[in-house]
Structure formats: C-alpha cells, structure tokens
C-alpha cells in the first residue's frame, strides 16, 4: 500500500539554521514520519513541491524528558530529514 505524500512529509521545519542552509547549500529541513525511508521522503518532496531532490539525510530525534511535580514523562520521538535540492531548484515557504 502506497503512503500519502502528506503522511510521509509532515511539515517543514523553519528555523534560523534551516534558513541559512537553504540559502548557502540549497538544503531544507522537514519533519517526517518515523517509518519513512529516504526513497519515500525523496518522492514525496518531489511531488509536493515540484522540485528535483539530489540527496536526503535523515536523523531520529529522541523525545525530551518533561516533569510536572512528581510525574515524569517524555515527548514523542520524531524523525528529521535534511533534503538537498539540485541546482536551480528552490522551495519558497510563505
């Protein structure tokens, strides 16, 4: 069963570091599904933003420890993808 592009790529991560990499190296950060692999991420970004992807790097981010009085819990784990676009392609976030 094929996954929807919106379930693979959840949202773009807009940060100061991400905007610097976007300008200098044509790289963009995305929050993606935990079970998504690099091929699925590449295809989803190409379809959603109409660009050509050169490379995809992924990293798994562990949840942070949160404490409220005596109760301790963790935020959920999530996955980050750094997508490098080919020359001449850019993504505009409004």
- pLDDT tens for 56-90 read 999 999 999 999 999 999 999 999 999 999 999 99
Instruction: Reply yes or no on whether the pLDDT at 1 is more than 70.
Output: no
At residue 21, the pLDDT reads 87
pLDDT tens for each residue of 9-64: 999 999 998 889 888 999 999 999 999 999 999 999 999 999 999 999 999 999 99
Domains (ranges, CATH) in the chain?
5-85 (3.30.70.330)
Dihedral angle, C-alpha 56, 75, 35, 30, nearest 10 °: -30
CA–CA dist 15, 61 (Å, integer) = 16
């Amino acid at each position: 069963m094929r996954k929807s592009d919106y379930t693979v790529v959840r949202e773009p991560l807009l940060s100061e570091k991400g905007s610097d990499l976007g300008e200098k190296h044509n790289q963009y950060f995305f929050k993606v599904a935990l079970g998504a692999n690099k091929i699925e991420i590449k295809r989803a970004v190409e379809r959603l933003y109409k660009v050509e992807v050169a490379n995809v790097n992924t990293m798994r981010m562990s949840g942070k420890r949160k404490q409220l009085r005596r109760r301790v819990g963790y935020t959920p784990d999530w996955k980050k993808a750094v997508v490098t676009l080919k020359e001449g392609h850019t993504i505009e976030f409004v």
